[in-house]
Structure 1
Amino acid sequence: MQEALYEGKFFYLKSYLDTVEDIKAELDRLKKRADKGAFQCPYCNDTLILKSGNIREEHFSHRHSRSCEISEASEVYHQQVKRESKAHSVMKEIIYNELKGQEKTNENMQVDYGYIAKGKEKWRYYPDIIVKNADKEIAITILTNVTANKDEKLVRQIRNRNRYYQNKGMQTIWFVEDAEMSVDMNHHVIHLWEAELDIAIKTEEDLKWENVLNHLPIEEPLFKLFDYHHRKIPQSFDVRSLYYVHSTETEIVFTVHRFIVDEMKYPFRAFALNEGYQMSMSKALLTKQTIQLSDPEVEEKNRELFKEIVKQKALEKIEKDIKENIIREQQHMVTFSYTPTQAARKPSFQKLNSSEQEMFPLLDESLQKAIFDYVQSVSVISAKELSVYLVNEYGAPSETFLTGRYKIYGDVCKFLDYLAERGMIQFLQKDGVHDRIYGSCWNGAAKQ
């Protein structure tokens, strides 16, 4: 076992040895104290001795090898968490202390380390912490140190532990060290270890998300609407959540991430509903009948925001489809609206006289020539897109109206109308106040 009582306080051997430089010399000093009865078992008060050797790491042991039940459970537990990083014990202690604080104000609540709470029952696996609240028991486990070469073996261990706790009638909650978090909101994807996917849980808030998602008033599949690279379109949405923890020596911050299950084989990935949000430990671990693990107000705001985003994307998709249909029709019109003789002679740019130039004050000669060349290189001309092209490629004035439209747009439309009057292009359609569409006579003829 790693723990003992020393001078009336808990003493964790491994944690202590991690802080010293000369471990061998310090072990000699600790052994001398142990020989003189300085260390006691925290569970049965028996005197402990300190052992160290080449086969097993340094540990405390009862005299005459007569271990008590809790110390035996402690041995099982510490072998179980041997793979975890140093951050694991820090996180565990901070979470334990927070829950212990709530225990003082909740007479139905009991908090203990897993191996202490269930040691006498000789469990095969022990969670880090067990919270008993009235007739419910919650198994809390912290997961750290996941890597690609450890993931496959770890998945089997986690599944066994998770199933074991659930068979004991417990609700399971896993917290994952935030070093494992990998979220790309540009593609609405959360990349996962298989172990992470296995410990993701479904809470009351996840069920509320599912209800919203399954009743969205959209025709386009959600994944396609967000241009999410998916394996298949789900018939209904399976929302789960992961809880990442970031720790310092004095506090822990939780980050809640909710996602729609997608890829159930390597590489594991899912649709991230949002960027996640941080939550203080006191709010995340607030315990009534169960541990809260969320901020209900933030969750409701996130759901409303997501519905607005979906609505906007659906409108954008409709507008895009309409515009593409218009362009296809206009390309067809341009192709058959002109005879080859009309466009047989490709005109050259001629400088405008002074009175004509006054019609387009924001377009100097270089911009006029750029437009002239542009309309001869495309079949369909969008005045809006042409304005953007001139700003980006030719340094046209970039001032905009409050609506975001470039101020040169008006002069661009006038110049295109000017070219239409001279038979170089044809006005096709006005897209409300948003755009004007023209067809190029030259390219139309060239396609015949």
Structure 2
Amino acid sequence: MREAIHVIDEEIVQLPYSTSRDAVENYKKLANKSLYKCPYCEAKLIVKFGDIKGLYFSHQHSEACEESRKIDRAEKRYEKQNERETKIHKVLVDIIYDELSIKAKINPNVIVNYGYKANPSYKYYPDISVKVNDRAYSISVITNVSPSQDSKLAQDIINRHEYFVEQGLEPIWFIEMKEQSIELEKNSMVLWDAELAISAKTKEDERWDRLIEENMKDSMFFKYFNYPSTTLNKEIDVRSLYYIFSTEDKLIVKVQRFLKDRIVRPYRAFLLNRGYEISFSEALVIDDGFKLSNPDIDLQLRNHFNEILIQKKKEHEEQLRQENERKQIHLKELEERRTSFTPSEENFTYSDLKVLLKHRIGLTQKEQMELWSKYMLSSVGPKNSKLVWELVLEHDCHSFNELKAILDKRKI
């Protein structure tokens, strides 16, 4: 039978491994030898068995100690706090607890407990409380994020986060993997309110800050990545999210870093990379606190980011060169057409005039309509198109306004 740790009303309950008559009698004999004690008051515990509760521990005379009662009340508040979570929430929390408990067994400086047991008097409870030397951490898992609940959840998370900090805890948040939403073609990440609220700032994020700050001196930075940036001169603030999911044999953490950008809905951030996965035991390596990442992988990703950026700059420069080359070819073709176009003296038409004016002064559709209605149909006459062209050449006109001034002055 496991250690008695779960409090319900006045009794400390232990779920049985067996409810056979022999098993019950065996547990009772062990209890009579004072083998089982209350983890809070050290009082002797007896073993009871009933049809409703099954096999369970109890204080003698069913008088639970005050500490047991506190834990019981705290557990109920904790369950109330997590009513919105999915069933996977408890599974993930238990896996994390087991993983950290293994670390605690080999490291005497690590103390692990469920949040409501670590301090029953808390207003808000982390799922797990961890103490490493003189530093205390709150570990919480978020599941079931949806548009209808997101804003309320985000405010609840902010309240909990701030409360944990006030209590001297360093908050660590994990979010269920299925909540991640990225747009690779735009190199962007769409965030829920809750995701933005639990994003962290670590030493690795600060290293990314310095890299991005240097490269953002280039005004084309976001355009290289096809990212729809909202501002040009933004504060450099790389942050992290830790997505969590379980496989058949272990718990996996996906480390995702992003550059915070648009903080009005829909929240959007610049995606630095696709993130990387590490085992949970690796994420919570204890080295002056929890690492939560792999520095070697982050260094590789920063180097890779630089390589991609250099390549995108080259591609952009080549694109500009090709566009400029096409533009020069187009201008050359227009010039050749302008210089080679020589309408016959006898059959010079208004259509010929339009072509010549378009090449010489860039005659627009609107200007063409004004030329026709105001001048050609009245004072000039359609048959005098050649005369208009001769005036353009004579006065070296380079704009429609210059041509109009001449036509108005001459009153043809």
Same fold (TM over 0.5): yes
User: How many residues are matched?
Assistant: 306
- Aligned equivalents of 2:61, 2:86: Cα separation in 1: 30
- Quick check: 1:6 aligned with 2:14? yes
Residue 110 of structure 1 corresponds to 111
Residue 84 of structure 1 corresponds to 85
SS at match of 2:239: strand
SS at match of 2:274: coil
Residue 97 of structure 2 corresponds to 96
Residue 23 of structure 2 corresponds to none
2:7 touches 2:72 (CA, 8 Å); kept in 1? no
Residue 336 of structure 1 corresponds to 335
Cα deviation for residue 2 of structure 1 reads: 8.0
- Aligned equivalents of 2:231, 2:211: Cα separation in 1: 20
Cα deviation for residue 31 of structure 1 reads: 6.9
- Quick check: 1:32 aligned with 2:51? yes
- Aligned equivalents of 2:69, 2:218: Cα separation in 1: 64
Residue 260 of structure 1 corresponds to 259
Distance change >3 Å, CA 330–CA 31, structure 1 → 2: farther
From the two aligned structures, give the one with the greater helix fraction. 2
Structure 2 residue identity aligned to 1:109: V
Distance change >3 Å, CA 106–CA 234, structure 1 → 2: farther
- Aligned equivalents of 1:219, 1:263: Cα separation in 2: 20
Alpha-carbon deviations, 1:397-437, whole Å to 9, x = none?
xxxxxxxxxxxxxxxxxxxxxxxxxxxxxxxxxxxxxxxxx
SS at match of 2:218: coil
- In the TM superposition, 1:32-431 aligns within 5 A as 32-34=51-53, 38-40=55-57, 45=59, 68-119=69-120, 122-216=121-215, 219-248=218-247, 250-339=249-338, 341=340
Cα deviation for residue 217 of structure 1 reads: 7.6
Unaligned runs of 5+ in 2: 1-5, 18-48, 344-412
Structure 1 residue identity aligned to 2:234: Q
Distance change >3 Å, CA 132–CA 221, structure 1 → 2: farther
- Aligned equivalents of 1:249, 1:66: Cα separation in 2: 37
SS at match of 1:266: coil
Distance change >3 Å, CA 270–CA 31, structure 1 → 2: farther
SS at match of 2:148: helix
Residue 421 of structure 1 corresponds to none
SS at match of 1:166: helix
- Aligned equivalents of 1:143, 1:47: Cα separation in 2: 41
Residue 25 of structure 2 corresponds to none
SS at match of 1:104: helix
1:40 touches 1:47 (CA, 8 Å); kept in 2? no
What TM-score, normalized to structure 2?
0.68
- Aligned equivalents of 2:60, 2:220: Cα separation in 1: 66
Structure 1 residue identity aligned to 2:202: T
Greater Rg by CA: 2
- Aligned equivalents of 1:63, 1:136: Cα separation in 2: 32
Distance change >3 Å, CA 339–CA 288, structure 1 → 2: closer
- Aligned equivalents of 1:125, 1:81: Cα separation in 2: 11
SS at match of 1:201: coil
Out of 240-249 and 318-327, give the one that drifted further. 318-327
- Aligned equivalents of 1:115, 1:68: Cα separation in 2: 12
1:134 touches 1:289 (CA, 8 Å); kept in 2? no
Alpha-carbon deviations, 1:177-198, whole Å to 9, x = none?
1111112222111111100110
- Aligned equivalents of 1:320, 1:47: Cα separation in 2: 85
- Aligned equivalents of 1:46, 1:200: Cα separation in 2: 48
2:7 touches 2:68 (CA, 8 Å); kept in 1? no
Cα deviation for residue 216 of structure 1 reads: 2.2
- Aligned equivalents of 2:248, 2:168: Cα separation in 1: 33
Residue 432 of structure 1 corresponds to none
- Aligned equivalents of 1:223, 1:95: Cα separation in 2: 38
- Aligned equivalents of 1:287, 1:105: Cα separation in 2: 12
- Aligned equivalents of 1:230, 1:214: Cα separation in 2: 15
Structure 2 residue identity aligned to 1:39: Y
1:253 touches 1:280 (CA, 8 Å); kept in 2? yes
- Aligned equivalents of 2:184, 2:130: Cα separation in 1: 35
Structure 1 residue identity aligned to 2:148: N
Out of 232-241 and 159-168, give the one that drifted further. 232-241
- Aligned equivalents of 1:187, 1:2: Cα separation in 2: 52
Identity %: 34
SS at match of 1:186: helix
Residue 346 of structure 2 corresponds to none
Alpha-carbon deviations, 1:333-385, whole Å to 9, x = none?
221134565799xxxxxxxxxxxxxxxxxxxxxxxxxxxxxxxxxxxxxxxxx
Residue 368 of structure 2 corresponds to none
Alpha-carbon deviations, 1:79-121, whole Å to 9, x = none?
11111111111111111111111112222111111111111xx
Distance change >3 Å, CA 213–CA 254, structure 1 → 2: same
SS at match of 1:196: helix
2:250 touches 2:279 (CA, 8 Å); kept in 1? no
Distance change >3 Å, CA 230–CA 281, structure 1 → 2: same
Distance change >3 Å, CA 32–CA 314, structure 1 → 2: same
SS at match of 2:173: strand
Structure 1 residue identity aligned to 2:91: V
Distance change >3 Å, CA 72–CA 327, structure 1 → 2: same
